[in-house]
Structure 1
Amino acid sequence: MIDKKYARAEHSILIRGSGVYLDRFTPTHNDSEIPIVLMPTRLVHEKGVAIFIEAARILKARGIKAHFQIAGGETKHNPKAISRAQMLEMVSDGAVEWLGRVNNMPDLLAQASLIVYPSYYGEGIPRVLLEACAAGRAIVTTDHAGCREAVEHGVNGLLVPVKDAHATAQAIEHILGHTDERRAMEIQSRKRAEDQFDIHAIVEETVRVYGEI
């Protein structure tokens, strides 16, 4: 709004519109021998589903031992949605396991060692990334509006160019191969959630600001 000259900076107040219930997520460090690399998403092409699958294939070809999963059900009434038939074809080579729709996201995130979200979809801060931060997970996502607001490159994850499976694969391999760095990223993700994405703090701030208008 400010960039487009619809509002003046000195007359504007920025309130984060997205938040998460932190108490639903318990940060834990996962040291599984074969790590789970998880992409939670709605099945829409622009979320980067094909990029994630291609990155998994690249890493499998390199001999990287990891279990790649996509969690998400079909999306209705979206012309860019991935159908069930398309999804089954995309994962038919076994590089990635499609879990379908998952109802208990906190448990799923707790089982994962790394969250990947190579989206180039136009949206605010994706809820997937808010929840990944709350769960204390290292994240690989794109240097794209919304995504970069949840992840600071080199701090709680890595940012990669959009539509770049090779860069995504490289980032995944780097984090999986550096346990101490991943652990530090996990701590920073939770801290970021506590500092910026706590839904209770956001609601309180919103009420306070409206009370002063």
Structure 2
Amino acid sequence: MDSPTSSPSADNFHSVYVDAVPPTLPAQKAEVGLKKVLHLINGEHYSGAERVQDLLGLRLPEFGYHADFACVKPGKFATSRRATECQVFELAMRHRFDLWRSRDVVGLVQEHGYQIIHAHTPRTALLAMLAARSCDAQFVYHVHSPTSRDSTRRLTNWMNQQVESWAMFQAARLITVSNSLSRHLAQLHVPMTKVRVVHNGVPSLSDVPQRDAPNGSWTIGCVALFRPRKGIEVLLHALANLRGQGHDVRLRAVGPFETPEYQREIETLVAKLNLQHAIDWVGFTQDVNRELFQMDLFVLPSLFGEGLPMVVLEAMAAGVPVIASDVEGACEAIQPGFDGLLAIPADVDDLTMKISSVVSGEVDWLSLRQTALLRQRESFSDRSMAGGTAAVYDELLG
């Protein structure tokens, strides 16, 4: 989605920074007295990391900060976000090393008075690092997942890891979304004195419907930006196993595919497993909670590369018991046997067994549901996430 926009000088960037807020949802001015933060994000999708950014935009004013956003890969974030009081600037990079854009970040900081530049991806971290050298703003970097294991593309992972490592050593503070990610940074010899853990969080819901355990037919749900690392193939094989064992289960898959090529691969597998009539492909939606309320059991079969999956927390908030792969982050949200279950990554038989244990009643569905609701409210709220992020800002700004 990168567009070949030329990089202007600081005195004429108004012609390039198109406010991407929908005309029906105009951005409001920051409340007087709030300190200002510019979040540099990709913005191409609206999935886990983008939900974190959106919720920070909504909640940070409670703690004295106003957030705006600059998207280097403009896309769904601008039109899908709920934080409509935040400005969104298009700052399209032509490629991941389009470093001239750092001058434009400086221009935004100088005009709008941002005191912190908060980056969320390797490419935005590079821009933030360079921009912070030319202005008075502090540089904060948010680590959402282990970059070295972020995808199946080894060269891309390596390049992103090199860029990210360079930027992390320059950042004033690093925010990780889980303790496991902090340990990952320690292995990269990042100074731990600048690392702060702020767990992801989601809003608690006041209108969670009262439910009994399903009787007979079960809807298994998955919400993701479907790409190889999310392991949907493992779930499809497990679904075929369960149906072969006589369980009345079907899959509700919510979210877009990363590429048409990958979508075709999955469609081929679905046909091979004879699951065409056992799956509802919902596609992208802004109302994730509505979809979660239609699920009896949520499964996230990630192979690797998670930080602290927002969708797991959203499922817990909606009262949907979770079975997730035992990868970074997910194991911090789920207490096996109490509020969910953990499955061995990429192990079809183990995932089949874990789902079967709930569907068959061996594991009490209602107990998982009630404990998950309580744990999300106590430990993973959007307010606690914003408060933790604001505390990092406070350290830098005094």
TM bin (shorter chain): 0.7 to 0.9
Letter in 1 for 2:268: E
**1:19 alignment partner, one of 195, 201, 210:** 201
Alignment RMSD, CA only? 2.4
Q: Normalising by structure 1, report the TM-score.
A: 0.85
1:42 deviates by: 1.6
Residue 147 of structure 2 corresponds to which residue in structure 1? Answer: none
Whether 1:87 aligns to 2:266 is yes
**2:211 alignment partner, one of 11, 20, 29:** 29
Residue 358 of structure 2 corresponds to which residue in structure 1? Answer: 175
1:100 deviates by: 3.5
Whether 1:97 aligns to 2:267 is no
Contact 2:304 2:345 survives alignment (8 Å):
no
Contact 2:213 2:365 survives alignment (8 Å):
no
1:208 deviates by: 3.5
Residue 6 of structure 1 corresponds to which residue in structure 2? Answer: 190
Residues 98-150 of structure 1: CA distance to partner in whole angstroms, max 9, x if unpaired?
41314121111111110011101313111221111111221111111122122
Residue 144 of structure 1 corresponds to which residue in structure 2? Answer: 327
Q: Secondary structure at the match of 1:154?
A: coil
**2:384 alignment partner, one of 188, 191, 201:** 201
Q: Secondary structure at the match of 1:91?
A: helix
For 1:35 and 1:25, how far apart are their aligned partners in 2? Answer: 22
Larger Rg: 2
Q: Secondary structure at the match of 1:115?
A: strand
Whether 1:41 aligns to 2:220 is no
1:88 deviates by: 2.0
Letter in 1 for 2:190: Y
Contact 1:39 1:117 survives alignment (8 Å):
yes
Residues 2-51 of structure 1: CA distance to partner in whole angstroms, max 9, x if unpaired?
63343347x764322x2212238625435443111112122112211000
**Higher RCO structure, 1 or 2 (CA under 8 Å, sep 6+):** 1
For 2:213 and 2:377, how far apart are their aligned partners in 1? Answer: 24
Q: Secondary structure at the match of 2:364?
A: helix
Residue 128 of structure 1 corresponds to which residue in structure 2? Answer: 311
Contact 1:24 1:106 survives alignment (8 Å):
no
Paired residues in the alignment total 207
Residues 55-89 of structure 1: CA distance to partner in whole angstroms, max 9, x if unpaired?
0011111101122222221214xxxx863322322
Contact 2:322 2:340 survives alignment (8 Å):
yes
Letter in 1 for 2:357: H
Q: Secondary structure at the match of 1:38?
A: strand
The percentage of counterpart residues that share the same residue type is 21
* Correspondence 1:37-76 to 2 at 5 A: 37-76=220-259
Residue 347 of structure 2 corresponds to which residue in structure 1? Answer: 164
Judged with a 3 Å threshold, the aligned counterparts in structure 2 of structure 1 residues 25 and 53 are, in CA distance, closer, same or farther, namely: farther
For 1:162 and 1:12, how far apart are their aligned partners in 2? Answer: 28
For 1:150 and 1:31, how far apart are their aligned partners in 2? Answer: 22
Moved more, 85-94 or 195-204: 85-94
For 2:212 and 2:250, how far apart are their aligned partners in 1? Answer: 13
Judged with a 3 Å threshold, the aligned counterparts in structure 2 of structure 1 residues 168 and 202 are, in CA distance, closer, same or farther, namely: same
Judged with a 3 Å threshold, the aligned counterparts in structure 2 of structure 1 residues 25 and 43 are, in CA distance, closer, same or farther, namely: farther
For 1:30 and 1:179, how far apart are their aligned partners in 2? Answer: 16
1:179 deviates by: 7.7
Q: Secondary structure at the match of 2:281?
A: strand
For 2:195 and 2:253, how far apart are their aligned partners in 1? Answer: 40
For 1:150 and 1:27, how far apart are their aligned partners in 2? Answer: 22
